[in-house]
A and B are shown apart, each in its own frame.
Chain A
Amino acid sequence: MTTKLILSLDGAVIGEYPLNAPRITIGRKPHNDIVVNNLAVSGEHAAIVTIGHDSFLEDLNSTNGVLVNGAPVKKYVLQHNDVIEISKYRLKYLNDRPVQASSDEFERTMILRAPQQTYAVSDKSGDTGQFKAAEVVAAPVQPVPPEQVKSSAPPILLAAIQVLNGPNAGRELNLVKGLTTLGKPGVQVAVLTRRPQGFFITHVEGANFPSVNGHVLSGQPHPLQDHDLIELAGIKMEFYLKG
């Protein structure tokens, strides 16, 4: 894994700095880790604190401020490809570790062993946040074959139901949420759920079981097809796919 900053001026790269220390400072004075010798840059202008796999950019009360992707920031969690601007200088942040890693190793819960005193004060907010002595203890990892790992989400299906009778006849309800409720909780409820493989209708509670195309449902989820006719407590509705 490489996490680094690419320093450039007017499009020309003038330095590359790996973020391999817990804290890296940027400023005009020579003791900084990244020295930018320009009068518009404060002596200690900004710092980047790296904890685990995240890097935090902090403006050290500089005179002329810090921009990230064009917006001024005081404190900011850096994301891959962010561009930090200090005066005319640009620092591009590169972190090739994905946010949602596909490897099992990454998401396995691990224990961050904080220094003992952190335990004592950890209920007082404000006293936390120092992790200098922290040490990450990773559990041994069982490899998972990559083909088991689901990566991209399937495209979102669009569908709607239209009420066919009663006072709300003609009304259309877009099924935009993962779960759409028909009825009143505590009394009579059926739900329409959107899953990767399509839409389902399920009876939840109440004396009336919904029917689809004239067949009364059991307690199990029932898959819906385009133009299915749903009937619930006397209300007829048509389900149809969109787009």
Chain B
Amino acid sequence: MKLELALEIVAQTNAGMVRAHNEDSIAFDAACGLLVLADGMGGYNAGEVASDIAVKVMLEAVTVPLKKSTAVALDPASGDELAIALLGRSIHQANTAIFEKSRSHAQYAGMGTTIVSALFYDNRVVVGHVGDSRLYRLRGEQLELITRDHSLLQEQIDSGMISVENARHSRNKNLVTRAVGIDADVVPEVRLYDVEVGDIYLLCSDGLNDMVEDDDIQSVLYAMQGNLPLAAEQLIQTANDNGGRDNVSVMLVKVKQDFAQPRSWLLRLLDLFKK
């Protein structure tokens, strides 16, 4: 099954009610099953520049090699499947591109971006993220946060300094502990998940989840799963109705059909030996 037929993808971004600029960037390639969302930071328009570089570099770094090979082929350098290797590597490439640009242009000094990215292949999804942009999954009626923020608040929750309940009142919501383009290297978190038909995936910037409670995200996604463009619009509208203090970006993926990778007889034979 071709990916563009198996997946329905809708993406929307909005500056919000307060900010003059939209520093979020989003991009996807339906044929490759790739989505990238970046929330830039930095003065003047540097945040937009950083997030724009991130999505462009990642899109090219993943789709170009993928079109020449298959996602399940083994990457010789890492020993991982190509999809996993490419997604991780593309975040490093985005990091280098942003870091170099910020070093060579004084007006971009210190710029950086968060990233959340998803690459669907062979009934699975590989998720790569840095910072506090998120990926959620609606399966049945259950909304689950798949990524774990790289933020001071999350570290405080993990170490038991602060409860999830208290975290709502924290003044430290906007401090991320990892970002792309800030240092010479970055540590992306890359994880693989099984996908089921009917799943809905949500990639979002913190402008959504800071303004809209998870329960409300769940009720919108569940009620509007039959109309993805309306669901995206409703999520952004809710964030803006609640104050819209930040840029808000929403990317939705609905898994409509099975998308197992067709394998050649040789690969199937090799799979047999692996077991």
Using CB atoms and an 8 Å cutoff, list the residues of chain A in contact with chain B.
Answer: 51-54, 56, 75, 77, 79, 97, 99-101, 104, 106-114, 118-119, 122-123, 125-126, 128-129, 131, 136-137, 139-142, 144, 148-150, 153, 177-179, 181, 185-186, 189, 191, 193, 195-196, 202, 204-206, 219
CA distance A51 to B170 in the complex (A): 11
Closest partner residue, chain B, to A104 (CB atom): B18
Q: Looking at chain B's contact residues, is the secondary structure mostly helix, strand, loop, or mixed?
A: loop
Q: Contact residue range for chain B? A: 35 or more
In whole angstroms, how far apart are the Cα atoms of A111 and B222 in the complex?
34
Task: Provide 28 A-B residue pairs closer than 8 Å at the C-beta atoms, listed in order of the A residue.
Answer: A51-B152, A51-B156, A52-B152, A52-B172, A54-B170, A99-B169, A99-B171, A107-B210, A107-B245, A109-B132, A109-B176, A110-B176, A111-B112, A122-B150, A126-B158, A126-B159, A139-B110, A142-B21, A148-B17, A150-B17, A178-B216, A185-B223, A185-B226, A189-B224, A191-B223, A191-B224, A191-B234, A204-B227
- What's the least CB distance linking B111 to chain A, in Å? 8
The CA-CA distance from A153 to B227 in the complex, in Å, is 29
Name the one of A56, A181, A185 contacting B162, with C-beta atoms under 8 angstroms: A56
Which residues of chain B come closer than 8 Å to A202, judged between CB atoms? 230
Task: Indicate if the CB atoms of B41 and A139 lie closer than 8 Å.
Answer: yes
The 8 A-B pairs at the shortest CB distance, nearest first, are namely A205-B226, A140-B43, A129-B159, A53-B171, A125-B158, A181-B223, A128-B155, A112-B175
Q: Does B142 contact A (CB under 8 A)?
A: no
Contact, CB under 8 Å: B152 / A77:
no
A106 contacts B47, C-beta separation under 8 Å: no
- Complex-state Cα separation, A118 to B187, whole angstroms: 11
What is the interface of chain A mostly: helix, strand, loop, or mixed?
loop
CA distance A99 to B166 in the complex (A): 12
B216 touches A113 (CB 8 A): no
Residues of chain B in range 229-244 having any CB-CB distance to chain A below 8 Å:
230, 234, 237-238, 241-244
Can you name the residue of chain B whose Cβ is closest to the Cβ of A136? B175
Contacts A56-B161, A142-B44 known; A111 to B176 CB distance under 8 Å?
yes
